[in-house]
């Protein structure tokens, strides 16, 4: 998801300084530090920070040429608003905790709540808050209209826009501007909310994900990017040059180490999963390979996550084609799926992943994917155990609700949430031991 003003679900401390040199067998001491997707019954995009998914009131893929105000909401009664929130929970909520919850008890709650008149909008919002609190889920919560609006303007592009994926009449994805920061770079240059993105620097983006296009928009501060947009549903097409201002900082530090005075090891520290993570990690891996690295250490300690899609794409860099990255589980059939690698690995060298109790979410997806597919050993402490997917639904008055709708399960079918991932070693072992461990891991799978 990464400059996360609105979407971080866990507090972080300031970014760490580059890590000190490696020494075996001690671990490196490093200071502590939600593909925005849109759906309403149908998944239309890619997951953002900690698995957050956005959900908006549904719009037909067959657009007319009348201009629509994306901020305009129909008049809704207070009772209707509460019932809308209740229905979203009833249809999508995945119960994952120890708190008792059932559809039968939830039906009784609806009858109790709607039996009395709700006189004010403020009262309706308070009822929704109490209703969500009764789920016993720390991640399901209410968003005021102002909070939802800020979340919709979340900028992962560096030019002040937030993209959503929408299928056209042929089922192909097109990208629209969901939110835009007023007086930000894109807005000042002429991009408007609701515009369709057609190309970035003369590269057509039809069929690409919001995550992929956001990465194309990213770049060094002060440089320019040309965005071709179509204004409105049937408006004119215009190429607009936008100067980048606010960009994600690189989350990657890397260096070549000589462990035991002989073995060249590529060390990569990944602080978070933002829009630059995959691109900068690829650069680091290529440079370390050119420098002669025989093994790699990927340091995910104190990495609380970020863009889930970035984590998935990074895991694929190490896996063989056909390997499972992660399973998603939820009540919606479209959340019941396996995410599978569709490319060849960038490297074949053994990998060590350093983890601790602040390795969470997207970091745990990468760690479990490489571990369960016998591509890496895990060294350190048990990980945090954050493996839930939240969906952000917009209500008809512009407010919203965040609901837990799914969870991640590792390739070996282990539930990450609340359990974390147990490492193979507490301290960095000898490289011969690492090679033997990975060989032993892959033998049953090959048999």
Averaged confidence pLDDT in the chain: 80
* Homologous superfamily in CATH for domain 252-390+404-442: 2-enoyl-CoA Hydratase; Chain A, domain 1 (3.90.226.10)
Q: Could you read off the pLDDT of 301-356 as tens digits, one per residue?
A: 999 988 888 899 999 999 999 999 999 998 877 778 899 999 999 999 999 999 99
CA 127 to centroid of chain Cα atoms: 30
Rounded-to-5 percentages of helix, strand, coil across the chain: 25, 25, 50
CB neighbour list of residue 399: distance below 8 Å, 6 or more residues apart: 81, 125, 128, 142, 143, 144, 145, 147, 148
The angle formed by the CA atoms of residues 309, 310 and 313, to the nearest 5 degrees, is 85
| Cα separation, 42 vs 278, whole angstroms | 27
List of the chain residues with pLDDT < 50: 1-51, 54-73, 247, 447
**Pairing mode, strands 376-380 and 400-409:** unpaired
Whether 274 and 248 have beta carbons less than 8 Å apart is answered as yes
Q: What is the pLDDT of residue 311?
A: 93
Rounded (10°) CA dihedral 222, 226, 227, 231: 100
- For the chain, the structural domain boundaries read 78-144, 157-244, 252-390+404-442
| Cα separation, 266 vs 277, whole angstroms | 17
CATH number, domain 157-244: 2.30.42.10
| Cα separation, 328 vs 338, whole angstroms | 6
Q: What is the pLDDT of residue 264?
A: 92
DSSP designation for 248: P
Cite the active site residues: 361, 386
**Whole-number percent of the chain with pLDDT over 70:** 81
Stated length of the chain: 447
| Number of other CB atoms surrounding residue 226 within 10 Å | 14
Half-sphere exposure of 269 (CA within 13 A, CB side): 22
Tokens of 392: 């952000």
Whether 248 and 211 have beta carbons less than 8 Å apart is answered as no
Q: Could you read off the pLDDT of 204-213 as tens digits, one per residue?
A: 998 887 878 8
């Amino acid at each position: 998801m990464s400059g996360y003003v609105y979407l971080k679900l866990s507090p972080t401390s300031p970014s760490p300084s580059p890590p000190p040199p490696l020494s075996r067998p001690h671990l490196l001491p490093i200071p502590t530090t939600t593909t925005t997707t849109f759906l309403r019954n149908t998944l239309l995009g890619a997951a953002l920070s900690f698995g957050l998914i956005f959900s908006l009131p549904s719009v037909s893929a067959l657009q007319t040429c009348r201009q629509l105000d994306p901020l305009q909401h129909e008049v809704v009664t207070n009772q209707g608003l509460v019932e809308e929130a209740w229905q979203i929970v009833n249809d999508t909520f995945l119960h994952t905790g120890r708190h008792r919850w059932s559809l039968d008890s939830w039906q009784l709650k609806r009858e109790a709540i709607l039996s009395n008149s709700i006189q004010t909008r403020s009262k309706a919002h308070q009822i929704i808050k109490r209703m969500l609190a009764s789920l016993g889920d720390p991640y399901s919560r209410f968003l005021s209209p102002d909070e939802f609006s800020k979340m919709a303007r979340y900028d992962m592009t560096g030019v002040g826009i937030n993209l959503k994926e929408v299928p056209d009449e042929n089922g192909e994805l097109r990208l629209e501007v969901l939110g835009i920061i007023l007086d930000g770079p894109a807005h000042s240059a002429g991009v408007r909310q609701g515009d369709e993105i057609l190309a970035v620097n003369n590269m057509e983006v039809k069929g690409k994900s919001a995550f992929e296009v956001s990465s194309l928009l990213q770049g060094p501060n002060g440089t320019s990017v040309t965005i071709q947009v179509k204004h409105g549903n049937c408006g004119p097409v215009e190429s607009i040059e936008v100067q980048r201002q606010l960009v994600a900082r690189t989350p990657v530090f890397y260096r070549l180490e000589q462990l035991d005075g002989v073995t060249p090891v590529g060390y990569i520290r990944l602080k978070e999963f933002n829009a630059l993570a995959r691109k900068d990690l690829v650069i680091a891996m290529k440079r370390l390979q050119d420098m002669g690295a025989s093994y790699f250490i990927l340091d995910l300690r104190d990495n609380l996550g970020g863009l889930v899609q970035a984590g998935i794409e990074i895991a694929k860099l190490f896996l063989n084609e056909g390997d499972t990255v992660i399973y998603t589980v939820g009540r919606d059939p479209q959340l019941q799926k396996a995410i599978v690698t569709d490319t060849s690995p960038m490297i074949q060298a053994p990998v060590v992943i350093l983890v601790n109790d602040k390795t969470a979410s997207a970091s745990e997806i990468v760690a479990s994917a490489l571990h369960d597919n016998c591509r890496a050993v895990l060294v350190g402490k048990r990980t945090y155990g954050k493996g839930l997917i939240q969906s952000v639904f917009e209500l008809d008055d512009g407010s919203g609700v965040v609901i837990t709708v799914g969870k991640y399960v590792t390739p070996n079918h282990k539930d990450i949430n609340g359990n974390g991932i147990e490492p193979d070693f507490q301290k960095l072992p000898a490289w011969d031991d690492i090679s033997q461990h990975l060989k032993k891991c892959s033998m049953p799978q090959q048999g």
